[in-house]
Amino acid sequence: VVMESYLRRSIEKNELSLYYQPQINLQTGRIESLEALLRWHNPTLGYVSPAEFIPLAEDTALIVPIGEWVFEEVCRQIVQWDAKGLQKIKVAVNLSPKQFLQPELADKINALIHKYGIPPCRLEIEITEGAMQNTTESLAIVRKLKDIGLSISVDDFGTGYSSLSYLKQFPLDTLKIDQSFVREILSDKKDAAITTTIIHLAQSLGLEVIAEGVELEEQAGFLKAANCQKVQGFLYSKPLPPWEIEQAFLYKE
Ligand code: G
Ligand code: G
Ligand code: MN
Ligand code: NA
């Protein structure tokens, strides 16, 4: 209850910020995109993890204004980086299931990218398998987002309780292999098999594939040999504030 009342005021009090984690093309070794990750620092509670406050925000409908803040902040950031003549890369934004199911979502996103003049191909939406359970409704939403020109990525792929049939119905772009599979790929034969199979599945469906939670050079080597296109993880960079991303990763075009 205390956290909820603090969270309610987090936007007006300027306590939210976005960190960005690079997504690297394994074949070229170059940065291709960034995942935006929300951070909340409250003077009383200190740093609170999104793993803790996002579920609370979902339960209290606070996710709607918070999600809009995130989207607008990403748009502002893209405009700012472009104005500095930096490399024009794509930014991925996480959407929780309730956010995703808001009826006005696509219109709101469309209005924002027009307001900021951002080409839709610069944005990717990350949704989890759970968001695709209510098929007719979610399919209509994903189609709307695709029509706008955004790309759609399935986050934490393989960890939800959903059938694979959505893979043939939904117009998706990317599968993100969950870090729980990547963590033990070197030592656990089952994790190695699941990871390789997801990469093959993505390839045969014409989808991009990205492995999350890559911490070791040897994991990256395994993934490269298995033809995984992209990687994300502490080996390359932890999530960083925009100025550090700018210094360490974005070159001038
Ligand atoms: O950054 P970190 O690994 O602590 O994120 C923890 C969880 O919070 C992840 O599941 C991530 O997807 C989620 N998360 C981070 N930022 C956002 C956001 O802006 N919106 C939503 N809905 N979830 C987010
Ligand atoms: O659910 P989602 O994939 O959006 O969550 C991303 C979360 O994973 C973020 O909280 C981020 O900080 C965390 N993360 C990113 N890279 C690594 C990594 O290499 N190892 C671990 N343990 N966590 C990571
Ligand atoms: Mn994510
Ligand atoms: Na994930």
Q: Classify residue 17: in a domain, yes or no.
A: yes
pLDDT at 58: 95
**Which atom of ligand 2 sits closest to the CA of residue 176?**
3
Closest ligand, as measured to the CA of 178? 4
Protein residue whose Cα sits closest to atom 23 of ligand 2: 213
**Which atom of ligand 2 sits closest to the CA of residue 178?**
3
Q: Classify residue 121: in a domain, yes or no.
A: yes
Q: Classify residue 214: in a domain, yes or no.
A: yes
pLDDT at 253: 86
Residue 66 belongs to domain spanning: 2-248
In testing the pocket of ligand 1, which one of 17, 40, 54, 232 has its CB within 8 Å of the most ligand atoms? 54
Closest ligand, as measured to the CA of 92? 3
pLDDT tens for residues 179-230?
999 999 999 999 999 999 999 999 999 999 999 999 999 999 999 999 999 9
Number of domains in the chain: 1
CATH number at residue 177: 3.20.20.450
When pLDDT is cut at 50, 70 and 90, the band that residue 135 belongs to is: confident
pLDDT tens for residues 152-169?
999 999 998 788 889 999
Whole-number average pLDDT of the chain: 96
ipTM, interface predicted TM-score of the complex: 0.97
Q: State whether the beta carbon of 239 lies less than 6 angstroms from ligand 1.
A: yes
CA of 212 to the centre of ligand 2 (A): 7
CA of 101 to the centre of ligand 2 (A): 24
pLDDT tens for residues 31-41?
999 999 999 99
Protein residue whose Cα sits closest to atom 24 of ligand 2: 213
Closest ligand, as measured to the CA of 100? 1
Question: pTM for the full model?
Answer: 0.97
CA of 115 to the centre of ligand 2 (A): 31
**Three-state SS letters, the chain:** CHHHHHHHCCCCCCCEEEEEEEEEECCCCCEEEEEEEEEEEECCCEEECHHHHHHHHHHHCCHHHHHHHHHHHHHHHHHHHHHCCECCCEEEEECCHHHHCCCCHHHHHHHHHHHHCCCHHHEEEEEEHHHHCCHHHHHHHHHHHHHHCCEEEEEEECCCCCCCCHHHHCCCCEEEECHHHHCCCCCCHHHHHHHHHHHHHHHHHCCEEEECCCCCHHHHHHHHHCCCCEECCCCCCCCECHHHHHHHHCCEC
pLDDT tens for residues 24-33?
999 999 999 9
In testing the pocket of ligand 2, which one of 17, 53, 179 has its CB within 8 Å of the most ligand atoms? 179
pLDDT tens for residues 50-96?
999 999 999 999 999 999 999 999 999 999 999 999 999 999 999 99
Q: Classify residue 253: in a domain, yes or no.
A: no
